[in-house]
C-alpha cells in the first residue's frame, strides 16, 4: 500500500513538473521550427519574445492544444501555409495562445 501511494505521489509530482516546464520548452520548440523551417520561403515568421509570459497562466488543456500545434508543425518537417492551416484545424486553441493574466 505504501509503495502504491509513493508511486502515485511521484507520478503526480512528475506530471506537475512536466506541465510547469512545458511552457518555455514549447516556446523554444516553436521558435526553432519557425526559424529553421520558415526562413527564405513563402512563409515568414518573427520570434515571439513574449511567448513564455503569454502561456505561463494556461491550464493543462490549453497547454495541450499548444503542444499539439507545435508537435504538428514539427512532424510535418516543412513550413508552408498548407501545413500551418492543417495544424491550426487540428489544434485551434494552440495557435497564438494567450492565457488570462499574461
List pLDDT tens digits, range 51-68.
999 999 999 999 999 999
- The pLDDT of residue 10 is 43
Domain boundaries, the chain: 2-94
What parts of the chain have a pLDDT lower than 50? 4, 6-20
Cα separation, 24 vs 29, whole angstroms: 9
3-state secondary structure 20-83: HHHHHHHHHHHHHHHHHHCCCCCCCCCCCCCHHHHHCCCCHHHHHHHHHHHHHHHHHCCCCHHH
Max CA separation in the chain (angstroms): 59
Amino acid at each position: 500500500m505504501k509503495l502504491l501511494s509513493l508511486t502515485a505521489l511521484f507520478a503526480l509530482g512528475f506530471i506537475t513538473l512536466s506541465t510547469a516546464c512545458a511552457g518555455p520548452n514549447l516556446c523554444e520548440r516553436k521558435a526553432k521550427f519557425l526559424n529553421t523551417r520558415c526562413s527564405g520561403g513563402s512563409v515568414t515568421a518573427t520570434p515571439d519574445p513574449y511567448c513564455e509570459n503569454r502561456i505561463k497562466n494556461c491550464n493543462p488543456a490549453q497547454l495541450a492544444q499548444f503542444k499539439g500545434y507545435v508537435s504538428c508543425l514539427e512532424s510535418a518537417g516543412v513550413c508552408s501555409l498548407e501545413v500551418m492551416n492543417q495544424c491550426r484545424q487540428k489544434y485551434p486553441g494552440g495557435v497564438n495562445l494567450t492565457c488570462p493574466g499574461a
